[in-house]
Structure 1
Amino acid sequence: MEGIDNVASIRDVAKKAKVAACTVSRVLNNSGYVAPETREKIEKVIKELNYIPNELARGMFRQKAGSIAMLIPNIVHPFFSTLASYIEKELYNRGYKLMLCSTDADINKERDYMETLKSNIVDGVISGVSNLQLKEYKNFNKPLVMLDYVVNSKIPVVASNHKLGGELAAKKFIDSGCKNVIHICDDKTTKVLSYQCHIALENMLKVHNIKSKAIEIKWNDFDFEGYLNLAKKVLIERPDTDGIFAADMPAAAFLKAAIKLGKQIPKDLCVVAYDGTYTTNSNILNITTVVQQVQLIANKSVENIISLIEKDNIIEPYTEIDVYLREGETSF
């Protein structure tokens, strides 16, 4: 079968139908006007040659891959897996496919992916990681949208209102009568914007004379068992702790550890999670949570990357999505 699944087969069809290759492309993509009799002739030749269009080959032919890559730190992290799911659905609805790349927070892996993605394999990139040097982003020749990271003024960013998130969590601890709050966070050198919620939390608790202690960890250092061991250690070593603020998974681990240690929730320990994924409602108690609106983040990210691909200059350089508090059974 001659010319199957490659760019030349389009030219084969064009040659036999005695039309231009771009006319065949319009028929294949159902884009642009083609006279009915010409369309019928092309479709007849396609059947005669038993031509099976190859999406990647057609993408290369028209300089468009029809796919967008998403870089995330870890595919099993509840927030990123949920976000990727929404982005995949939104892209598909807009005629694009998603290529998911998990870097495991490894800068070399991130660099390798970015180098690979410079080719025609994708039309653009949505990135939830940022460990490279500024010059490496400047040399990246594809449309790029960042999630929760500011690289420079030319690359659009989509992020939650993390300052509001920290303030909502702090207010909940204040209302619950907490005096000693521990918050589990990334180290202070991180560039991720979500760290702002921890700064806002500390500042507001300080104003109300409530003690707070940051325990800094690399967010991907532990799986659930690792978080559970950390929770047991913290709660035993700091028995006066009456408030815990952490991302969904470690918050769930602290809840489980506290119950095993005989603590009454929320009387002895108030737990507030941050993100709002399925893990907060998969426990003995539903966890009070500051919710990031993942679907809105996904929709805006997709809107921005497609606008960049289609060279639409009406793009907001920084989009901030509000968060909200979802009441649970782990606070007053």
Structure 2
Amino acid sequence: MPQRREPTLADVAELAGVSLTTVSRVINNRGYLSEAAKERVSAAIAELNYRPNQAARVLHGMATRSIGVIVPTVALPFFGELAAQLEIALAEHGYRILVCNSQGRAEREREYLDLLVSHRVDGIISSAHNEDLADYGTVRMPLVMIDRDLFPAIPNIRCDNVRGGALATEHLLQRGARHPLLLTSRTGRRNGREAGYRSTLALADIEAQIVAVDFNTPEPERTQRINDELTSRLGGFDAVFATDDLTAAGVVEWARSAGLGVPEDLRVIGFDGTRAIRQAMPGLTTIRQPIAELSRRAVAELLAQIAAIHDGVELRALEIAPIELPVELVIGRTT
């Protein structure tokens, strides 16, 4: 039995009884066509289950109607929900997404970036966490970052991390904490949540305590390192502000294993407010990010760049201030 092949443009034209040019015009919605011709071509496409060759479309300079999305991993609640919301927002405008999981590795992120550029997606949205990846500076297609400040000419959509860090710390102090500890993935000037934590404690004349365990540390090593750090400091802190909800949930489990009551002995607050964590641990106090709105704003910025290219406007010509969206304190039973 001969091997079945994918149907071609010529197959569609033959079945519909029209020219190749007519089929191409129907697919790309270009030029005048009679309704009868459109219906014949559409029926032939459906009968053959024909799919346009994206590589050929790229060679002819056509839009692929696809957007690349780079995240560390959709296995983490925030990035899984972010990818889902980006897909919803882009689908409303007729775009599909190609999700690339970098696994937190700079080399893999670089490979995915090269792959997306070579396949000429119409644009890229990146929320991966490798810092100082210079490769993005060479990308000349529509590009938007989510919570990642790489280059001043690339739009960066994020929540108000500094205010979120301050809200979390203020809440712990209001609940009676006097020695709150910050548990984060990376410490430094780019950590807005840390900045909010530090400034709030400085106003209260309280010394900051920070434990940083790298975001990209594989499990179960990351959890074990966090548990070891907390155990070694036992008695020196009475609250934990974890800069993501999954880590905060792990702190609650550690507290129970250490014989500490939450919130009686230890107050715990997280950050993100994803649907998955709210369902798994509805009592967790957290700072909620507006993930759906972050996604819509990122898509709006990307579509504006796509339109600008069509109008002949040069991208990256001006510096763009980060777009910050407000956060919300969600009080649960852990504080």
- TM-score, length-scaled by structure 1: 0.84
Q: Is the 8 A contact 1:163 1:200 kept in 2?
A: yes
Which amino acid in the other structure matches residue 138 of structure 1? G
1:48-197 aligned within 5 A: 50=48, 52-54=50-52, 56=54, 59-60=57-58, 61=60, 63-129=62-128, 131=130, 136-189=135-188, 191=190, 195-197=191-193
Measured in 2, the distance between the counterparts of 1:64 and 1:229 equals: 47
Equivalent in the alignment of 2:203: 207
Distance 1:264 1:232, change over 3 A: farther
Report whether the alignment pairs 1:287 with 2:284: yes
Q: Any runs of at least 4 consecutive aligned residues in structure 1 with deviations exceeding 6 A, and if so which?
A: 312-316
Which amino acid in the other structure matches residue 327 of structure 2? V
Equivalent in the alignment of 1:221: 217
Provide structure 2 residue ranges, at least 5 long, that are not aligned to the other structure. none
Measured in 1, the distance between the counterparts of 2:196 and 2:260 equals: 28
Provide structure 1 residue ranges, at least 5 long, that are not aligned to the other structure. none
Measured in 2, the distance between the counterparts of 1:249 and 1:25 equals: 49
Report whether the alignment pairs 1:323 with 2:319: no
Q: Is the 8 A contact 2:213 2:222 kept in 1?
A: no
Which amino acid in the other structure matches residue 84 of structure 1? A
- Please identify, of 267-276 and 137-146, the stretch whose mean Cα deviation from structure 2 is larger: 137-146
Q: Is the 8 A contact 2:70 2:102 kept in 1?
A: yes
Distance 1:90 1:166, change over 3 A: same
- Please identify, of 291-300 and 301-310, the stretch whose mean Cα deviation from structure 2 is larger: 301-310
Equivalent in the alignment of 1:261: 258
Distance 1:248 1:43, change over 3 A: closer
Say which SS state the counterpart of residue 205 (structure 1) adopts: helix
Distance 1:5 1:308, change over 3 A: farther
Distance 1:221 1:30, change over 3 A: same
- TM-score, length-scaled by structure 2: 0.83
Equivalent in the alignment of 1:248: 245
| Identical residues among aligned pairs (%) | 24
The count of residues paired between Structure 1 and Structure 2 equals 323
Measured in 2, the distance between the counterparts of 1:32 and 1:306 equals: 24
